Amino acid sequence: MDHSLRELYQEVILDHSRHPRHFGVLENATHKAEGYNPLCGDKVHVMLVLDKDGRVADIRFTGKGCAISQASASMMTEMLAGRTLAEAQKLMDGFIHLVKGEEAPGLSADDREHLDVMAGLSEFPMRVKCATLAWHTFSNAIEEGAIAAAEGAAS
């Protein structure tokens, strides 16, 4: 990777880490989950509201951790807002392949451009877990919300 491009990517990560988007508690969340990486101590709590059409109407996160985990959570919330669950899953799958250094053919050119800042993490396997923590926590929030809805309907 070109040195100036690497520097730009580092600046984007630092900006998201220092000024996270969608950071804070979402009081009316329909889905939420907590994620923890015991290897480094990163913690994230993802909260979201799904509208009647299955779109992410609002999404927030809180937590503490390294610049990578916080930046990734910020980027994730920014990119998932307004998407359907199918679109969110496709984006998540592409992101996880990307940070592992694998092909991510399902990503649109625009999504790829936004997420490429994390592509270099494949050189640092321990940092991949930091980058994917929020994304896995989002997935858990969706699963736990579906379980809670099914249990509520069965009552």
Over its C-alpha atoms, the chain yields an Rg (Å, rounded) of 15
Nearest Cα to Cα of residue 63 among 92, 22, 29? 22
Q: What does pTM read for this prediction?
A: 0.89
What percentage of residues in the chain have a pLDDT greater than 90? 66
List the chain domain ranges: 3-150
List pLDDT tens digits, range 81-121.
999 999 999 999 999 999 999 988 889 999 998 888 888 88
Mean of the per-residue pLDDT values of the chain: 89
For 44, 49, 76, the CA distances from 30, given in Å and listed in that order, are 17, 5, 18
Nearest Cα to Cα of residue 76 among 116, 135, 16? 135
CATH class entry, domain 3-150: alpha beta
